[in-house]
Chains A and B, each alone.
Chain A
Amino acid sequence: MFLRHAVWYYHAFLYSILRYHVTVRDALNQALDEELERDERVFLLGEEVAQYDGAYKVSRGLWKKYGDKRIIDTPITEMGFAGIAVGAAMAGLRPICEFMTFNFSMQAIDQVINSAAKTYYMSAGLQPVPIVFRGPNGASAGVAAQHSQCFAAWYGHCPGLKVVSPWSAEDAKGLLKSAIRDDNPVVFLENELMYGVPFEMSEEAQSKDFLLPIGKAKIERQGNHVTLVSHSRMVSLCLDAAAVLAKEGIECEVINMRTIRPLDAEAIETSVMKTNHLITVEGGWPQFGVGAEILARIMEGPAFNFLDAPAVRVTGVDIPMPYAKILEDNSIPQIKDIIFSVKKTLNV
């Protein structure tokens, strides 16, 4: 009898601790659920989104709640169903088109760029395309070269698209809701390795109208010595590196970009003008990447004169992703790489 009470109290204690912690997956699920409920025109289509509950369980429970009309399982035909989603958006619906991973979006990229992104401009404002393309992006674990590419730079290159890359559960929820309510094509880059990570969710973030603005970065950690700019999973590594460096008296300012396009250059510039040092950290390849763009903008903008050292990029290694764990681990930035780059930049 005593044991049974003890077990109950233990669970209640755990529950109260975990109550305000939400995984990224659940935050995305909440966002989808809330927006489906709010606007009848919103619907989700993609492979395994309905009866399988989502390949990564992001859409768990939605088909049961909303049915076949709003949650649609598609055949494995990306080009076709992405085009269908874009056409539906043109005709007045608000589709969410899921790519099982963004690697498969390459099959449909013509529809994303030529049919979705450019149409409002080509029609001089006659034809908007309110669509969200979402799914996991970038490296996972052990899935090798064809399933590990980061598309932030590819989509970030194109005018007419908004490209969002959330990190935390709050990011995921607030930004996905904003993306769905946005009247323009939004590419929403999630990260499979982040899906299971729990984050504290503020009271505010639990509201059904919690929105985060697209195009605004967030300062996750204040610091004076160096600015670390990152997006998605790499933000975690930057914070971990910052914690280690703090013990040596180096205070890093960590910026979570949240949005790739439009890029919040102002937030980065303001930070660089304070710290005088800049390092970008990304999982994608270096050439023509997100870091390359940030560095170019810093060169061209007011923050250049405040740099005490060249701005540098920490990126994935310029190779297709290998399979073996030791090789894979050494293909993407590790915490030690960030620490090393900070010390080189600060010349310590």
Chain B
Amino acid sequence: DRVLLTGVINISVPVRSVCVCLCFHVTGARVVVSARTYADFTPQATFDIKKCDLHKLEEGPPLQAVLTREEGLQYYRTMQTIRRMELKADQLYKQKIIRGFCHLYDGQEACAVGIETGINLSDHLITAYRAHGYTLTRGGTVREIMAELTGRRGGIAKGKGGSMHMYTKHFYGGNGIVGAQVPLGAGVALACKYLGNNEICVCLYGDGAANQGQIFETYNMASLWKLPCIFICENNKYGMGTSVERAAASTDYYKRGDFIPGLRLDGMDVLCVREATKFAAEHCRSGKGPILMELQTYRYHGHSMSDPGVSYRTREEIQEVRSKSDPISMLKDRMLSNNMASVEELKEIDVEVRKEIEDAAQFATTDPEPPLDDLCNHIFYNDPPMEVRGTNPWTKLKSVS
């Protein structure tokens, strides 16, 4: 039997750190010692990914995904950033520095990251209120996301939106009303088709929203008018405290689009999500109309910070997902076991991410709140300044666009 012993010596040089590994391969009676540099990492590898369940589709996404080292490191970094950002938000919420609603995304990172890698920044995306991860992947910075959570003027919406109302270019939030974002997303897709810009809209909703009537109204119109819309159901098994079995007569969310072709896939595997998104994007861009994806995923936190998340599911279940299906661990194991990165390198990324989050949290807790004279601004766009009634007849406040 082969036994692999690996010793690692880390030598830091001014420009880059070079990882020198002494590997002892014991095969039979021979011992081989070799020095490894970055040039020795596997530049790319092909991974088998789980087959998608298909609905009204002859064929699905490929069963293999090619991952380059650069991509892997980037996906790892982004997922880790989302993870640590959400955990920091948890901390700040418990310290009462974040108030109101706070719906955390940890556990579901592979969805946001995988989707973004399957589309372009010039495409469009809209989701519901569990939106911090998407705000990041769509171009927001950790600083401005955290400062929005703490309600400061440096927030991505200047402190006026909060957790559920963050926007960036081609990212339409952050929407608080369950299901309302789905028709909006189809409308964005209609604009893409109307303007002929070959862009598509990714329109996300959860298993809880999947039973909303307006979603079925949207399926109908999107299909009739062949809108370039990818509907994505992030099925994390619970709509607030209600499990999918208790909420839906049919939990095959990927089939609920009926006449719309659908895919169901493992939402914890970033490569699965990427390949399926690419497949779906191609479907839309070729003018075939909408398509539906169901991502089977899991949230470690409760529905929101007011929900401990253990009254309707067991701690064992949460722990099992963490140990067997964590999206970041899955990617990490893949990369390490295929020699695409070293433990040290990934640890270094962790350290950098931690620092970024700390800096952002520092900013988010020290940046001042918005000025009071911003109170009535942004009511109308492109309008002359106007007066807004204050809390009493003598108080006239100013509003500018």
Q: Given A91-B124, A115-B180, A84 and B186 touching (CB < 8 A)?
A: yes
Q: Given A83-B182, A114-B177, A123 and B191 touching (CB < 8 A)?
A: no
Besides the known contacts A124-B161, A184-B381, 20 further A-B residue pairs in the complex with CB atoms under 8 A apart:
A72-B225, A77-B220, A82-B183, A83-B183, A83-B186, A84-B184, A84-B187, A87-B186, A88-B187, A91-B191, A93-B195, A114-B180, A121-B379, A123-B157, A123-B378, A125-B378, A128-B382, A183-B383, A184-B380, A262-B386
B183 touches A183 (CB 8 A): no
B168 / chain A contacts, CB cutoff of 8 Å:
126
Q: How far does the alpha carbon of A301 sit from the alpha carbon of B379 in the complex, in Å?
A: 23
Contact with A along B170-198 (1 / 0, CB 8 A): 00110111001011111111111011000
> In the complex, what residue of chain A is closest to B176 when comparing beta carbons?
A114
Q: How far does the alpha carbon of A93 sit from the alpha carbon of B168 in the complex, in Å?
A: 18
> In the complex, what residue of chain B is closest to A78 when comparing beta carbons?
B217
Q: How far does the alpha carbon of A88 sit from the alpha carbon of B222 in the complex, in Å?
A: 13
Task: Tell me if B158 counts as interface (CB < 8 A to partner A).
Answer: yes
| Chain A interface residues (CB < 8 Å from chain B) | 43, 69, 72, 74-75, 77, 79-93, 95, 110-111, 114-115, 119-128, 130, 159-160, 162, 183-184, 262, 300-301
Task: Tell me if B44 counts as interface (CB < 8 A to partner A).
Answer: no
A262 / chain B contacts, CB cutoff of 8 Å:
386
A81 touches B221 (CB 8 A): yes
Other-chain contact of A80, B157, B220, B383 (Cβ < 8 Å): B220
Q: How far does the alpha carbon of A280 sit from the alpha carbon of B228 in the complex, in Å?
A: 50
Q: Which of B81-115 contact A (CB under 8 A)?
A: none
Q: Given A125-B381, A184-B380, A92 and B195 touching (CB < 8 A)?
A: yes
Q: How far does the alpha carbon of A243 sit from the alpha carbon of B17 in the complex, in Å?
A: 93
Other-chain contact of B379, A84, A92, A159 (Cβ < 8 Å): A159
In this complex, the member of B157, B190, B377 whose beta carbon has the largest number of chain A beta carbons within 10 angstroms is: B190
A77 / chain B contacts, CB cutoff of 8 Å:
214, 217, 220-221
B383 touches A184 (CB 8 A): yes
Q: Given A80-B217, A123-B165, A90 and B160 touching (CB < 8 A)?
A: no
A91 / chain B contacts, CB cutoff of 8 Å:
124, 172, 187-188, 190-192, 201
| Chain B interface residues (CB < 8 Å from chain A) | 124, 126, 157-161, 165, 167-168, 172-173, 175-177, 180, 182-192, 194-195, 201, 213-214, 217-218, 220-221, 224-225, 377-383, 386, 388, 393, 401
Other-chain contact of A110, B177, B382, B388 (Cβ < 8 Å): B177
A93 touches B191 (CB 8 A): yes
B175 touches A92 (CB 8 A): no
> In the complex, what residue of chain B is closest to A95 when comparing beta carbons?
B187
Interface CB pairs A-B, < 8 A, 29: A69-B194, A75-B221, A79-B183, A80-B218, A81-B217, A83-B180, A83-B186, A83-B187, A86-B187, A87-B186, A87-B188, A88-B188, A88-B190, A90-B172, A90-B187, A91-B124, A91-B187, A91-B192, A91-B201, A93-B190, A95-B187, A114-B180, A115-B177, A115-B180, A122-B173, A123-B165, A123-B173, A124-B377, A162-B380
B187 touches A120 (CB 8 A): no
A87 touches B221 (CB 8 A): no
In the assembled complex, how far is the CB of residue A51 from the closest CB belonging to chain B, in whole angstroms?
14
In the assembled complex, how far is the CB of residue B375 from the closest CB belonging to chain A, in whole angstroms?
10
Other-chain contact of A120, B182, B194, B380 (Cβ < 8 Å): B380
A123 / chain B contacts, CB cutoff of 8 Å:
157, 160-161, 165, 167, 173, 378
B221 touches A84 (CB 8 A): yes
Other-chain contact of A300, B172, B188, B194, B393 (Cβ < 8 Å): B393
Q: How far does the alpha carbon of A91 sit from the alpha carbon of B169 in the complex, in Å?
A: 10
In the assembled complex, how far is the CB of residue A251 from the closest CB belonging to chain B, in whole angstroms?
31
Other-chain contact of B191, A72, A74, A92, A301 (Cβ < 8 Å): A92
Other-chain contact of B183, A89, A111, A162 (Cβ < 8 Å): A111
> In the complex, what residue of chain B is closest to A126 when comparing beta carbons?
B167
Q: How far does the alpha carbon of A158 sit from the alpha carbon of B190 in the complex, in Å?
A: 27
